[in-house]
């Protein structure tokens, strides 16, 4: 092996390490949001194993591409029903913990949004999570989902409308603060 080849390998390793350090937490948060905390560590490991093997294909910025890989890992690991069951279990656990503690309006607001989010389709949840919780632009979220930015904006608009309707179906005591928060989130995501 020549000295130049070792230097190239070293540069690959440095670039990969920098990408890993910069993106690991966001990939983990994405996986935890989709499949639960228990599966998130394994999804991150598999995602970065794929990223290492395909490091020459990794574009800049790497995060949307990595989230797309994580999405494929999740799709391969779980069927739709398994993801729904995990999300429902996490929501029930959060509701149980919130019922034990009286954190007042913030808890009621979060529960209303989580309940409404749980009633949405997997596709609507994914788009809202990518844009609101992961902070991706519509263009980057479109890359993750595999559609055009224009299509994603339409889907995002419709998902927001369905989320607002689902929150409005909540009992009045829980829905009022949540409705105001969804208005803020909708403005932030635009």
**CATH number of the domain where residue 130 is located:** 1.10.10.10
Residues 126 and 34: beta-carbon distance below 8 Å: yes
Query: Residue 171 class from Cβ within 10 Å (0-12 exposed, 13-18 middle, 19+ buried)?
Result: exposed
- Same domain, yes or no: 131 and 184: yes
pLDDT value at position 91? Answer: 76
- Same domain, yes or no: 102 and 179: yes
Between 55 and 153, the more confident residue is 153
Between 156 and 90, the more confident residue is 156
- Which two three-digit tokens encode residue 121? 């389709």
Could you give the CA distance from residue 156 to residue 125 in angstroms, rounded to a whole number? 10
Residues 120 and 159: beta-carbon distance below 8 Å: yes
What end-to-end distance do the CA atoms of the chain give, in Å?
52
Q: Find tokens 């224009």 and name the residue.
A: 150
Last residue of a domain, one of 77, 100, 120: 77
- Same domain, yes or no: 34 and 116: no
- Same domain, yes or no: 115 and 169: yes
- Same domain, yes or no: 99 and 163: yes
- Same domain, yes or no: 29 and 122: no
The percent of residues above 70 in pLDDT, for the chain, comes to 75
Range of the domain at 145: 82-189
pTM of the model: 0.47
Mean pLDDT of 149-155: 94
Establish how many alpha carbons lie within 13 A of residue 75's alpha carbon, considering only the half-sphere containing its beta carbon. Answer: 11
36: left (phi over 0), alpha (psi -120 to 50) or beta: left
Last residue of a domain, one of 48, 77, 106: 77
CATH number at residue 48: 1.10.1740
Between 96 and 140, the more confident residue is 140
- Same domain, yes or no: 92 and 185: yes
Tell me the per-residue pLDDT of 125-139, one tens digit each, with 9 for 90 and over: 899 989 988 888 989
- Same domain, yes or no: 183 and 92: yes
Q: Find tokens 């670039």 and name the residue.
A: 15
Q: Is residue 72 scored above 50 in pLDDT?
A: yes
* Cis preceding-peptide flag for 158 (omega within 30 of 0): no
Last residue of a domain, one of 26, 46, 77: 77
- Same domain, yes or no: 149 and 178: yes
Q: Is residue 27 scored above 90 in pLDDT?
A: yes
Number of domains in the chain: 2
Q: Is residue 28 scored above 60 in pLDDT?
A: yes
- Same domain, yes or no: 88 and 72: no
Is the four-CA dihedral 84, 89, 92, 98 of positive or negative sign?
Answer: negative
- Same domain, yes or no: 101 and 171: yes
Residue 190: CB atoms within 10 A of its CB come to 11
Residue 100: CB atoms within 10 A of its CB come to 7
- Same domain, yes or no: 88 and 73: no
């Amino acid at each position: 092996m020549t000295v130049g080849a070792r230097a190239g390998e070293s540069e690959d390793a440095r670039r990969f390490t920098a990408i890993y350090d910069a993106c690991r937490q966001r990939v983990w948060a994405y996986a935890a949001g989709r499949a639960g905390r228990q599966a998130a560590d394994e999804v991150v490991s598999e995602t970065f194993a794929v990223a290492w093997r395909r490091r020459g294909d990794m574009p800049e910025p790497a995060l949307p591409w990595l989230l797309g890989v994580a999405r494929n890992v999740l799709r391969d690991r779980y069927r739709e029903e398994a993801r729904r069951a995990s999300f429902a279990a996490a929501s029930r656990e959060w509701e149980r913990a919130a019922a034990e503690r009286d954190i007042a309006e913030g808890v009621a607001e979060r529960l209303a949004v989580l309940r409404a989010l749980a009633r949405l389709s997997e596709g609507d949840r994914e788009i809202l999570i990518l844009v609101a919780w992961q902070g991706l632009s519509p263009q980057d979220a479109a890359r993750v989902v595999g559609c055009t930015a224009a299509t994603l904006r339409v889907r995002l608009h419709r998902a927001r409308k369905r989320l607002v309707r689902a929150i409005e179906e909540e009992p009045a005591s829980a829905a009022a603060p949540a409705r105001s928060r969804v208005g803020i989130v909708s403005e932030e995501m635009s």
